[in-house]
Amino acid sequence: MTKIEVYTREPHPWQQKVIDSPAKRKVEKAGRRGGKTVGAAILAIERFWDGGRVLYAAPTAEQTDAFWYEVTSALAEAVQAKAFYKNETERVIEVPDTKQRIRAKTAWNADTLRGDYADLLILDEYQLMNEDAWERVGAPMLADNDGDAVFIYTPPSLYSAGVSKARDPRHASKLFKKAQTLEGWETFHFSSHENPHISKEGLNRLVQDMSPTAYRQEILAEDEDIEDSWLIYGKFDHRTCVIPRVRVDPAWPRYVGHDFGGANPAALFLAQDPGTGIVWAYDEYLPGGGRSAYEHVVEFKRLAEGLTVLKRVGGSHQEDEVRQAYTAQGWPISEPRITNVRAGIDRVRALIEHNRLYVFEDMRHLLAEIYNYLWKIGPDGKPTDEIQDKAKFHLLDCLRAVAGEFKPELAEQAREKIPVKHW
């Protein structure tokens, strides 16, 4: 019999710790370029070589491409010798007529993960996946054969919102913390600096272009240990108020909140169910800089075509000239009823605390702002009345501006009328 050899990369010490761990559940928190995916490939190859069935999933094709490259490179000789069968389209390497298999697939939620089973399930970039990938599919998948799971993530930042499918952007961080108390689970934490196989000079150049927060999260892989009292909208219940997109009744009145600014203008489109008073956030507008008032208005009118917009609200008391510029182009914007920032926040909080604000799950930027909206922490370690990094939260400024148009107590009175068919 021809001897088949497999060559993988030499794992660095932290990768080896993950590979050698006997834990049934492993949660790995690591910095960018820290070797997470390469380590996952080595682990997958070893399990496959021992006769196991491995399923690797990541939410982006770029990530699965990197994993698949490592796997196919290591097993190339065995495939060429026809010891294993490879299906490049399905990204499967297997021993025919057995359960022994390794597969890579792009998946970001329960529906895209289902349809398979495994002895070892690896969920890479888990912070960008919807939680139901594990809860509804991953965990049951492993139950029949007491399989193992590995969760791999880098602490999420506000800027990952555009690609994240998570309802709660911090779900992976919460899992890491919880795993430290659970029997049969083990956690691993290493930074980008601990990967000896990357260029130190290149990493240093990358670090120079990063903010302190991005450096802590993406290079040092440090989660922000946030207390509930620091979150301005900490009562926002993502399990109830973040919902799949459905058709919003075109007869419902619309409201638009605006945040002016040449570099980062924003608008938030909302609808209110007249029967229940519930407010639905259904569209977000973040075009970037460089557009005139006329160009913005053209887009606003397109988004509102055929709908009844009752109120357009935004700007501070001092920004009346900006409002007039939009009005001159056929998009009249009013000064907010509530001009005090703290009072506006309180109005939004009233909507949130009574679960009167619903947000579609594809409103990534708005959701990321809600989950990252914090009070600045003072020298005594307690929250102040100042908003941390206030200039970054353009959509929440829009929401605060338009919130004065809604009365949470009316929505509360209509609670029993909520039509279940909408979600």
pLDDT of residue 409: 61
Nearest of 283, 278, 276 to residue 240 by alpha carbon: 278
Angle between helix 394-402 and 341-353 (nearest 10): 80
For the whole prediction, is pTM greater than 0.85?
no
Rounded CA separation 284/278 (Å): 18
Confidence of residue 418 (pLDDT cuts 50, 70, 90): very low
Question: Each residue of 92-114: pLDDT tens digit?
Answer: 999 989 999 999 999 999 999 99
Location of structure tokens 């309802």: 167
pLDDT of residue 1: 47
pLDDT of residue 231: 82
**pLDDT surpasses 80 at 164:** no
pLDDT of residue 293: 93
- CATH 3.40.50.300 domain position(s) in the chain: 13-225
**pLDDT surpasses 50 at 411:** no
Query: If you compute the radius of gyration of the chain from its CA atoms, what whole number of angstroms results?
Result: 25
Confidence of residue 67 (pLDDT cuts 50, 70, 90): very high
Question: Each residue of 297-322: pLDDT tens digit?
Answer: 999 999 999 999 999 999 999 999 99
Rounded CA separation 67/41 (Å): 6
Indicate the fold that domain 13-225 takes in CATH.
Rossmann fold (3.40.50)
**pLDDT surpasses 80 at 334:** yes
Rounded CA separation 305/29 (Å): 46
**pLDDT surpasses 80 at 414:** no
Rounded CA separation 374/354 (Å): 20
The stretch 109-123 carries a mean pLDDT of: 93
- CATH 3.30.420.280 domain position(s) in the chain: 238-422
**pLDDT surpasses 60 at 396:** yes
The stretch 394-419 carries a mean pLDDT of: 73
**pLDDT surpasses 50 at 139:** yes
Tokens, residue 422? 């909408």
Rounded CA separation 77/23 (Å): 31
pLDDT of residue 288: 86
Rounded CA separation 19/39 (Å): 8
Rounded CA separation 196/349 (Å): 47
H/E run at residue 142: helix 139-143
Confidence of residue 392 (pLDDT cuts 50, 70, 90): confident
Confidence of residue 228 (pLDDT cuts 50, 70, 90): low
Indicate the fold that domain 238-422 takes in CATH.
Nucleotidyltransferase; domain 5 (3.30.420)
The stretch 230-255 carries a mean pLDDT of: 90
Long-range (24+ apart) CB contacts under 8 A made by 412-416 are 412/277, 412/354, 412/356, 413/277, 414/275, 414/276, 414/277, 414/278, 415/276
